[in-house]
């Protein structure tokens, strides 16, 4: 059992994030201005699902080994920096023994990290400010190496199960449903107290690890042969008193939400502003939108944000 890395790890995370944001945004963009037409969610600096491939069909009795993959979060930008504060990306790997081919399925944002973090504000045809969220996320199936090595993105591949082709197809059906029911990424598990409210949070997170852990659960539930005792998972936590539903038909409330997002917009800001804004956002998270598009007012409480990492029992079969 690991400790909660709250203020400390997040502060490091913020500083790093700041540098990425600066590198990505500062030189190319002028000062923030409200856009006058509906902007595009596409981030030209982000490639969704590189090495994407069609899902292959395997023989019914073929063996497909299933791996739990992890890599330091944002490894493509920061190498292993964030592993020191236990922040990881995770995915599921498949190894088809007969062809020796490997595949990855992962839950990924379609429009990059900055767009996930912050919506865009623009003026619509009647001259009013509208909020555009670009937090769309889908399952990406790709062909890539999974065993740690110089060519491989993932740094840890733990074998969790051995499936047959038939069982693999069952998992694909499960994944298709997951893909349809989890179309927006949510970074935080929002609750009052950790771990007391772990099972009854105000809002669930919907992130890459939620997917990989649900996938392992799906393997266990389908009776697939499990070969590992534990898998790891981390939680990004946001602490608040009970969120209150906001009536956005009241312009005072609506404008307050718009202002909250405008003040946070780091696109086009300089380094120091970006850092200040991200710190402000994480430690004073005033509004949150649920999956139905309703907005809630939060009352952040100590320790505001946190990251918790633990090992989960798989109840290994024999």
* Beta strands in 32-99, from DSSP E residues, in sequence order: 63-72, 88-96
313 makes contact with ligand NAG (CB under 6 A): no
Min dist CB 228 to ligand NAG, Å, is 7
- φ and ψ at residue 207, rounded to 5 degrees: -140, -175
45 makes contact with ligand NAG (CB under 6 A): no
By CB under 6 A, which span of 27-35, 93-101, 174-182, 259-267 interacts with ligand NAG? 174-182
2 makes contact with ligand NAG (CB under 6 A): no
**Chosen residue from 99, 128, 193, 299 binding ligand NAG by CB under 6 A:** 128
Q: Indicate if the alpha-carbon torsion angle 4, 158, 91, 293 is positive or negative.
A: negative
Looking at the Cβ atoms of 73 and 305, the one nearer to ligand NAG is 73
Order of strands, sheet of 101-109, starting from the edge strand that comes earlier in the sequence: 137-143, 101-109, 88-96, 63-72, 156-164, 225-226
Distance between CA atoms of 185 and 174, rounded to whole angstroms? 19
Distance between CA atoms of 210 and 192, rounded to whole angstroms? 20
Residues in 221-250 that interact with ligand NAG by CB under 6 A = 231-232
139 makes contact with ligand NAG (CB under 6 A): yes
Looking at the Cβ atoms of 40 and 128, the one nearer to ligand NAG is 128
175 makes contact with ligand NAG (CB under 6 A): yes
Min dist CB 237 to ligand NAG, Å, is 21
**Chosen residue from 25, 46, 153, 194 binding ligand NAG by CB under 6 A:** 153
Beta-carbon-side half-sphere exposure of residue 230 (alpha carbons within 13 Å): 7
Min dist CB 137 to ligand NAG, Å, is 9
212 makes contact with ligand NAG (CB under 6 A): no
Interaxial angle between packed helices 251-264 and 271-283, expressed in degrees from 0 to 180 and rounded to the nearest 10: 130
176 CB contacts (<8 Å, ≥6 apart)?
none
Return the closest-CA partner of residue 59 out of 220, 161, 167. 167
Min dist CB 12 to ligand NAG, Å, is 16
53 makes contact with ligand NAG (CB under 6 A): no
Looking at the Cβ atoms of 82 and 231, the one nearer to ligand NAG is 231
Return the closest-CA partner of residue 221 out of 105, 107, 90, 315. 315
By CB under 6 A, which span of 2-10, 13-21, 173-181, 201-209 interacts with ligand NAG? 173-181
145 makes contact with ligand NAG (CB under 6 A): yes
Residues in the chain, overall count: 318
- DSSP single-letter state for residue 81: G
48 makes contact with ligand NAG (CB under 6 A): no
Return the closest-CA partner of residue 213 out of 106, 95, 316. 106
130 makes contact with ligand NAG (CB under 6 A): yes
Q: Which residues bind ligand NAG (CB under 6 A)?
A: 50-51, 79-80, 105, 124-126, 128, 130, 138-139, 141, 144-145, 151, 153, 156, 158, 175-176, 179, 231-232
């Amino acid at each position: 059992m690991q400790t909660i890395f709250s203020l400390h790890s997040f502060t490091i995370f913020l500083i790093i994030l700041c540098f990425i944001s600066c590198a990505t945004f500062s030189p190319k963009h002028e000062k923030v201005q409200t856009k006058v037409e509906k902007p595009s969610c596409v981030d030209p600096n982000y490639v969704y699902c590189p090495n994407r491939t069609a899902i292959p069909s395997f023989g019914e009795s073929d063996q497909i080994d299933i791996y739990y993959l992890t890599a330091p979060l944002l490894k493509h930008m920061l190498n292993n920096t964030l592993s020191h504060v236990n922040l990881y990306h995770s995915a599921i790997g498949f190894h088809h023994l007969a062809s020796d081919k490997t595949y990855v399925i992962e839950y990924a944002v379609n429009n990059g990290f900055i767009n996930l973090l912050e919506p865009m504000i623009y003026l619509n045809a009647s001259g009013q400010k509208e909020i555009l969220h670009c937090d769309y996320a889908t399952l990406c199936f790709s062909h890539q190496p999974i065993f740690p090595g110089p060519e491989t993105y993932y740094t840890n591949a733990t074998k969790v199960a051995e499936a047959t082709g038939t069982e693999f197809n069952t998992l694909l059906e499960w994944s298709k449903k997951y893909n349809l029911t989890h179309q927006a990424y949510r970074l935080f598990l929002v609750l009052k107290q950790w771990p007391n409210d772990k099972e009854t949070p105000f809002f669930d997170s919907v992130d890459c690890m939620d997917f990989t852990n649900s996938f392992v659960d799906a393997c266990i539930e389908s009776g697939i042969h499990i070969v590992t005792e534990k898998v790891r998972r981390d939680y990004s936590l946001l602490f608040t008193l009970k969120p209150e539903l906001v009536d956005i038909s009241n312009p005072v409330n609506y404008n307050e939400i718009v202002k909250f997002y405008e003040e946070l917009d780091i696109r086009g800001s300089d380094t120091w502003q970006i850092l200040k804004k991200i710190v402000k956002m994480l430690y004073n998270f005033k509004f949150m939108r649920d999956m139905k598009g309703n907005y809630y007012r939060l009352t952040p409480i100590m320790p505001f944000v946190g990251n918790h990492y633990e090992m989960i029992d798989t109840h290994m079969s024999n």
